[in-house]
């Protein structure tokens, strides 16, 4: 296996692709600032001219071995010696298409020797839980499914994905790895801390939350945020919900981030499902706890024996906002835990997809650092 990674600005894309091509990659992944994709023709021309098979998406920040940046791109390329690679895309232009789009990608990529899928979905107008569920129910638990939802900084406006040299505003994209030589390990951790009372979801429909304890969810949420409520939905990234177990009221490890609010309906739209009748609690965090979470995720995914590996990092935009100028610390913690024998690339997202540590089923996470570590046996 050979890998190559690079970080640059928009002007450096063609040169980066030329360098990536030197290792004859079967797949490359691009994470780039939203403005990068507004010049769609230039992006498509660069990839078409290079003749490189790639997927990618817009971000809320780009991650490379040098840390975190904005208004840039991070590219990683992978060449495998004995692993088959395929790509697939599916239209996902609205929330109601989420599960079907996931199923479509799963069906296109499924095979007896399928080992893993790395998927990137639109960051808005999507139910990430249903999207991840659609893939997982199609290919089964044996397949490692990781990835995330595209970003648009903190604007929550238009997000983009890339596949086969074409830029889309309404597609999910993925690449799959096949065979028994490839090893894909994953890890996902948050580092968030609970605060405030436990609340019961008394009215919810899929990923739209209407009531908590019989009270309008948006009104109650604004009371918690105080002055910060005027900055919703962006300020909601700082105070996500944790889903709790019914039996012991402990954290399930699943966090839900707010994507939008509806003043007329008094509701909150989350990145993933809010279970009707379930228990939730608000969360908050500081830099130290988030860095510890990132380190734990990397330790879970690390394979110290791997050589020339590729590591894909998907972290949440909410974490980036909280850490501010210290955001590089979580990337440094991941790189130290993975070790020097890997190339790195990643992005800040609107949602992360990874197997749940307890169930093994891939699903949507929020406010986590999610790691995908890829290596190949000699």
Q: Are residues 304 and 277 in the same domain?
A: no
Question: Mind listing the pLDDT tens digit for each residue in 128-150?
Answer: 999 999 999 999 989 999 999 99
Of 46, 118, 114, 108, whose CA–CA distance to 313 is shortest? 118
Q: Are residues 273 and 336 in the same domain?
A: no
Q: Are residues 317 and 247 in the same domain?
A: no
Number of domains comprising the chain: 2
Query: What is the crossing angle of helices 128-139 and 98-109, to 10°?
Result: 30
Q: Are residues 345 and 260 in the same domain?
A: no
Long-range contact pairs involving 179-182 (C-beta distance under 8 Å, separation at least 24): 179/82, 179/83, 179/84, 179/113, 179/115, 180/113, 180/115, 181/80, 181/81, 181/82, 181/83, 181/376, 181/377, 182/80, 182/83, 182/115, 182/116, 182/374, 182/375, 182/376, 182/377
Q: Is the pLDDT of residue 252 over 90?
A: no
**DSSP-based three-state secondary structure for 290:** helix
The stretch 98-127 carries a mean pLDDT of: 97
Alpha helices in 22-61 (DSSP H): 34-38, 40-50
Q: Are residues 264 and 363 in the same domain?
A: no
Question: Looking at 283, 313, 342, which one is the last position of a domain?
Answer: 283
- pTM of structure: 0.90
Question: Mind listing the pLDDT tens digit for each residue in 150-201?
Answer: 999 988 889 999 998 999 999 999 999 999 999 999 999 999 989 889 999 9
Q: Is the pLDDT of residue 95 over 80?
A: yes
Q: 100 is written with which tokens?
A: 């079907």
Q: Are residues 306 and 349 in the same domain?
A: yes
| More confident: 214 or 252 | 214
Q: Are residues 65 and 47 in the same domain?
A: yes
Residues 6+ apart with CB under 8 A from 44: 165, 166, 167
Place of tokens 């590591």: 311
**DSSP-based three-state secondary structure for 191:** coil
98-100-101 Cα angle (round to 5): 65
Q: Are residues 44 and 164 in the same domain?
A: yes
Domain that holds residue 205: 193-283
Q: Are residues 246 and 337 in the same domain?
A: no
Q: Are residues 153 and 232 in the same domain?
A: no
Question: Looking at 235, 251, 283, which one is the last position of a domain?
Answer: 283
The stretch 61-90 carries a mean pLDDT of: 97
- How buried is 42 (Cβ within 10 angstroms: 0-12 exposed, 13-18 middle, 19+ buried)? middle
Work out the mean pLDDT of the chain and round it to a whole number. 95
Helices (H) and strands (E) in the chain, counts: 9, 26
Tell me which DSSP letter residue 169 carries. Answer: S
CATH of the domain at 202: 2.40.30
Q: 37 is written with which tokens?
A: 């994709």
Question: Mind listing the pLDDT tens digit for each residue in 3-53?
Answer: 999 999 999 999 999 999 999 999 999 999 999 998 899 999 999 999 999
What torsion, rounded to 10 degrees, do the Cα atoms 138, 140, 144, 145 define? 30
Q: Are residues 305 and 169 in the same domain?
A: yes
- pLDDT at residue 357, as a whole number: 76
Query: What is the crossing angle of helices 287-301 and 328-338, to 10°?
Result: 30
Query: Which CA distances in Å does 254 have to 16, 83, 258, 271, 288?
Result: 37, 32, 14, 12, 20
Of 104, 97, 153, 79, whose CA–CA distance to 320 is shortest? 153
First to last CA, the chain: 8
Question: Looking at 246, 267, 283, which one is the last position of a domain?
Answer: 283
For the chain, what percent of residues have pLDDT higher than 70? 100
Residues 6+ apart with CB under 8 A from 250: 244
Q: Are residues 81 and 166 in the same domain?
A: yes
Residues 6+ apart with CB under 8 A from 241: 255, 256, 270, 274, 280, 281, 282, 283
């Amino acid at each position: 296996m050979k890998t190559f990674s690079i970080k640059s600005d928009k002007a450096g894309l063609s040169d980066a692709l030329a360098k990536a091509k030197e290792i004859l990659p079967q797949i490359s992944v691009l994470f780039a600032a939203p403005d990068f994709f507004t010049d769609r023709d230039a992006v498509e021309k660069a990839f078409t001219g290079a003749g490189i098979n790639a997927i990618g998406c817009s971000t809320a920040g780009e991650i490379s071995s040098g840390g975190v940046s904005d208004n840039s791109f991070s590219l990683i390329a992978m060449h495998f010696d004995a692993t088959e690679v395929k790509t697939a895309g599916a239209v996902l232009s609205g929330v109601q298409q989420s599960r079907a789009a996931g199923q479509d990608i799963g069906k296109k990529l499924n095979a007896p020797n399928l080992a893993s899928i790395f998927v990137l979905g639109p960051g808005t107008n999507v139910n990430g839980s249903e999207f991840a569920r659609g893939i997982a129910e199609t290919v089964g638990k044996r397949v490692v499914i990781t990835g995330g939802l595209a970003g648009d900084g903190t604007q929550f406006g238009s997000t983009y994905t890339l596949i086969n040299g074409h830029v889309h505003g309404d597609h999910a994209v993925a690449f799959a790895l096949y065979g028994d030589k490839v090893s894909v390990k994953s890890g996902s951790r948050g580092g968030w801390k609970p605060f405030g009372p436990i609340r019961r979801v008394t009215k919810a429909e899929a990923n739209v939350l209407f009531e908590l304890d019989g009270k309008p969810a948006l009104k109650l949420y604004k009371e918690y945020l105080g002055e910060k409520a005027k900055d919703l939905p962006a300020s909601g990234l700082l105070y996500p919900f944790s889903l709790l177990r019914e039996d012991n009221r402990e954290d399930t490890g699943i966090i839900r981030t707010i994507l939008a609010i509806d003043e007329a309906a008094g509701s909150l739209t989350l990145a993933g499902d809010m279970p009707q009748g379930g228990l939730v609690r608000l969360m908050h965090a500081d830099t130290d706890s988030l860095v510890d979470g990132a380190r734990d995720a990397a330790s879970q995914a690390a394979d110290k024996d791997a050589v020339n590996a590729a590591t894909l990092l998907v972290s949440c935009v909410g974490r980036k906002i909280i850490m501010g100028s210290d955001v590089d610390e979580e990337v440094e913690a991941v790189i130290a835990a993975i070790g020097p024998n890997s190339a790195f690339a990643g992005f800040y997202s609107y949602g992360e997809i990874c197997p749940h540590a307890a169930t093994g089923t891939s699903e949507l996470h929020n406010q986590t650092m999610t790691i995908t570590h890829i290596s190949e046996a000699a």
